[in-house]
Amino acid sequence: MRFLKTRMIYIAALHLALVTGQAGAANSSDAQRLEILGIKPAATAEAAPETPTSSEPAPASTPAPPSTPMPPATDEETATAEDEHKAVVKKAGDEKKEEAHIATGAVHHEPAVPAAGHDGEHPVSKKEQDHHKEIHWGYEGSGAPHYWGNLKAEFATCKTGRSQSPIDISAVVITQLPTIQIEYDDTPLDIVNNGHTIQVNYQSGSSITVGGKRFQLLQFHFHSPSEHTIGGKAYPMAAHLVHKADDGQLGVLGIMIKEGRSNALLEQLWAHLPETGSSATVESEWINVSSLLPADLTYFNYSGSLTTPPCTEGVHWMVLAAPTEASAEQIARFRALYPNDARPVQPINGRTIRLSN
């Protein structure tokens, strides 16, 4: 039986209920979906929004008005999610710190002097200014995420933005969302080790279409652990597929990666890993990122930002509910290079997160 109304729900323990990745899950009933996701409907419900008639995707940042307001997450719930994420980050870092030390300095970013102290209010001393001239953004030490907003004037949104990513996905609305139509072609392997992650650049021509709006695929890259968390739980890795529409809007497809079977695409990529700060173009080696996608393209949608400086907002986020798999060895290979390249979860600030039914 299909629900006739949109359900406001809270995610109880989604770490691996999302995990089945079965091809038929996308066509199951809402009741079966709730069981698969391991979530319970809240006592309140809201009317399902009408299907958008324009070619634009439904705006992620404008929630359909609920008949009864959804209670916001408590400070304790938010703190718990953030603490758990930090614990995952610390564990990943401790496991591999002795194997590889990656400098926090950016390969393609110039240093800058912040206009204010780390709290954003008090002016910095000349000594601290000189110190900041040598700091690049990274994931630990003086260039860690907490300080990004002070490192350069262009990075101010990392500190002042109200729609930042990543987030913890713990309360969602099940509703109708446009299907993600995938059109990914093969591309010659162009892989970069930029000092923050492993990134693969894509030649023009590949895209996704969401609600009639086409987003060209620019590149994809990886994070460990996953930056987004689901029910306060992080995955060992995640891939972010970065797209751009003709109007300049960015659309990012997030894919959670759990430990399981070996992934054929990662096997190709890891065979050509360049040194930090360098790239490799292997024209004889062709790849297709579609092989990284799970069978079920059910997704969470919200309006967020880039998860790295300059933390630009207005990003159309589509985080797939079902994860893909990679072997323990493949995950360990990435972590040997980047034991922690994940920005901590950011405040939701009243945004609505939708889950496609």
Using a 10 angstrom Cβ sphere, with 0-12 exposed, 13-18 middle and 19 or more buried, the burial of residue 8 is: buried
Angle at 254 between CA 251 and CA 257, to 5 degrees: 165
User: Active site includes 243?
Assistant: no
- As a whole number of angstroms, the distance between CA 139 and CA 278 comes to 20
Q: Specify whether the CB–CB gap between 115 and 132 falls below 8 A.
A: no
Could you say which of 15, 196, 221, 240 is catalytic? 196
Tokens 């496609």 locate to 356
- Best CA proximity match to 9, nearest among 76, 52, 71, 59: 71
Q: What is the 3-state secondary structure (H, E, C) of 241-300?
A: EEEEECCCCEEEEEEEEEECCCCHHHHHHHCCCCCCCEEEEEEEEEECHHHHCCCCCCEE
Q: How far is CA 3 from CA 6, 26, 29, 33, 39, in A?
A: 7, 15, 8, 11, 15
% helix, strand, coil for the chain, step of 5 = 20, 30, 50
The pair of three-digit structure tokens given for residue 9, joined into one six-digit string? 């729900």
The rounded distance, in Å, linking the Cα atoms of 173 and 317 is 15
Can you tell me the distance from the alpha carbon of 260 to that of 328, in angstroms, rounded to the nearest whole number? 7
Structure-token pair, residue 306? 């880039």
Cα separation, 340 vs 86, whole angstroms: 10
Name the residues annotated as catalytic. Answer: 196
